Structure 1
Amino acid sequence: MRRDVVPEPANSRAFYSFLTSVVVPRPIAWISSTSTQGVDNLAPYSFFTIASVDPPIVQFTSVGRKDSVRNIEATREFVVGFTPEHLFEAVNATGTNFPPDVSEFDAVGLTREPSATVKPPRVLESPVALECRLHLIQDMGNCTLVFGEVLHAVVSEEVLDGALPAIDALRPLSRLGKNEWGTAGTVREISRIPVEKWPGHYGGAASMP
Structure 2
Amino acid sequence: MFYEPSKGHGLPHDPFKAIVAPRPIGWISSIGRDGSLNLAPYSYFNAFSANPFLVWFSSGGEKDSATFTAETGEFVANLVGRDHAEKMNLTSVNAPRGTNEFDYAGLEMVPSQMVKPPRVAGVPAALECKVTEIFRPKMLDGSDSGAVVVAGEVVGIFIDDAFLTDGLFDMVKAGNVSRLGYMDYSAISETFVMRRPRWEKD
- Same-fold status (TM-score > 0.5): yes
In structure 2, what is the equivalent of residue 122 of structure 1? Answer: 119
1:143 to 147, 159, 165: 147
Aligned counterparts of 2:98 and 2:84: Cα–Cα separation in 1: 24
Answer whether contact 2:110 2:119 (CA < 8 A) is retained: yes
Kindly name which structure, 1 or 2, has the bigger radius of gyration based on alpha carbons: 1
Q: Give CA-to-partner distance per residue, 1:45-65, whole Å, 9 cap, x none.
A: 011111212221111111222
In structure 2, what is the equivalent of residue 32 of structure 1? Answer: 29
In structure 1, what is the equivalent of residue 163 of structure 2? Answer: 159
2:190 to 186, 192, 195: 186
Q: Give CA-to-partner distance per residue, 1:153-177, whole Å, 9 cap, x none.
A: 1100000023320122121001000
Aligned counterparts of 2:5 and 2:74: Cα–Cα separation in 1: 35
In structure 2, what is the equivalent of residue 4 of structure 1? Answer: 2
User: Alpha carbon RMSD of aligned pairs, Å?
Assistant: 1.8
- The letter for the 2-side match of 1:168 is V
| Identity of matched residues, % | 35
1:71 counterpart = 2:68: yes
In structure 1, what is the equivalent of residue 174 of structure 2? Answer: 170
2:104 to 102, 107, 111: 107
Structure with a larger share of its residues in helix: 1
Q: Which moved more, 1:149-158 or 1:182-191?
A: 182-191
Answer whether contact 1:77 1:120 (CA < 8 A) is retained: yes
Q: Which runs of 4+ in 1 moved over 4 A?
A: none
Aligned counterparts of 2:126 and 2:148: Cα–Cα separation in 1: 22
- The letter for the 2-side match of 1:145 is V
Aligned counterparts of 1:91 and 1:5: Cα–Cα separation in 2: 33
Answer whether contact 2:172 2:190 (CA < 8 A) is retained: no
Answer whether contact 1:110 1:125 (CA < 8 A) is retained: no
The alpha-carbon deviation at position 189 of structure 1 amounts to 1.7
1:43 counterpart = 2:47: no
The alpha-carbon deviation at position 11 of structure 1 amounts to 6.3
1:56 counterpart = 2:53: yes
Q: Give CA-to-partner distance per residue, 1:93-133, whole Å, 9 cap, x none.
A: 10001112220000100011001111110111211011110
Answer whether contact 2:64 2:98 (CA < 8 A) is retained: no
Question: TM-score when scaled to structure 1?
Answer: 0.87
Answer whether contact 1:128 1:155 (CA < 8 A) is retained: yes
Q: Which runs of 5+ in 1 are unaligned?
A: 203-209
1:133 counterpart = 2:112: no
Equivalences, count = 193
